[in-house]
A and B are shown apart, each in its own frame.
Chain A
Amino acid sequence: MNYEAVVIGASAGGLGALQVLFSNIGNKFKLPVLIVQHLHPESEDYLSQLLKSYSHLRFKEADDKEPIRPGTVYYAPANYHLLVSNDKSMVLNVDEKVNYCRPSVDVLFESAADVYGPHLIGIVLTGSNQDGAAGMAMIKRKGGLTIVQDPKEAEVDAMPRAAIEKVKIDHILSLEKIGKLLTKFY
């Protein structure tokens, strides 16, 4: 079992969900995490400030061509797609919106699935659209592990449900359990 990276997609309700998730991830966790959170405020370090108080991990906004390092949680800047390139660095671009979204979860997930194949964990959290479902299908097809927040506890259940309907998801879990599980994959 050798996972190399985690990708997370969240939309409406995502900020609260990310707080709960990261407060349940233990300190020894070392995998890099890449997040697309729709509609977060544009101030550059808003998410880091928000999440830092819940976790000992390092949070930062992704920069274009920045190498992906272990033990770091990156998130897409507002209005940019975040992708993973073959040399395992990040790419930002302003290509057309996908699923009416930029950044788009599908764009991140599909590029990460291409690069990491079976060594990737994809997670879809609360949200009000369908972004992420196609990306999860790609992660599953490449042999990666797919996890969805239990729609019963999601603030907005459309995005988790869309993923569950499109893909035979491996595991449907609460945020607390996802956090505890990730800690075991350090």
Chain B
Amino acid sequence: MKKNVLIVDDFEPNLLVLESILEDLPISIIKAVNGEDALRILLNQPIDLILLDIKLPDINGYEVARMIRKHKKSKSMPIIFLSGFVDQEYSEFIEEYSNNIDFFQKPFDSDELRKQVKHYLNHK
């Protein structure tokens, strides 16, 4: 069965870039444009991996990730953060939750991102 990958970014061209990078993998790509949208999708369908932009217009990526981790069914779901810069909040986040978390700084190496996505999906 195809794995479901949720990609979250408020800037549509970035979603299309992620889709272009990942679309030839055997996965279904589901898109969300803000934190609330992402959480609603997570409640309603099984997701195997989330690629999460930090700077979202409503709830920031770390808050979304905290809510994901609080749910039993998603407490070990792999999360790949995507952001233009590494900030203090990331260090705080990984102190709290280090399991299955990764961070790619934009502009990221698309081969590395694909590799990491495949790694997470193969080890679930």
Contact = CB atoms under 8 A, between A and B. Distances in A.
A172 B20 CA distance: 12
Contact of B20 (A148, A150, A164, A177): A177
Interface stretch (A8-16, A72-80, A178-186): A178-186
Nearest to A181: B20
B110 A169 contact: no
A164 B109 CA distance: 12
A26 B26 CA distance: 21
Contact of B110 (A164, A172, A184, A185): A172
Interface in A1-54: 1
Contacts of B21: 173, 177
Given A145-B13, A185-B13, A169 B20 contact: no
Contact of B106 (A148, A164, A170, A184): A170
Interface residues of A, number: 18
Contact of B84 (A168, A173, A181): A168
A84 B102 CA distance: 43
Contacts of B13: 1, 145, 170, 185
Contact of A169 (B16, B19, B23, B107): B107
9 contacts: A148-B107, A150-B109, A170-B14, A170-B17, A171-B17, A177-B21, A177-B110, A181-B17, A185-B13
| Leading 5 A-B pairs by shortest Cβ distance | A181-B20, A184-B16, A180-B20, A1-B12, A172-B107
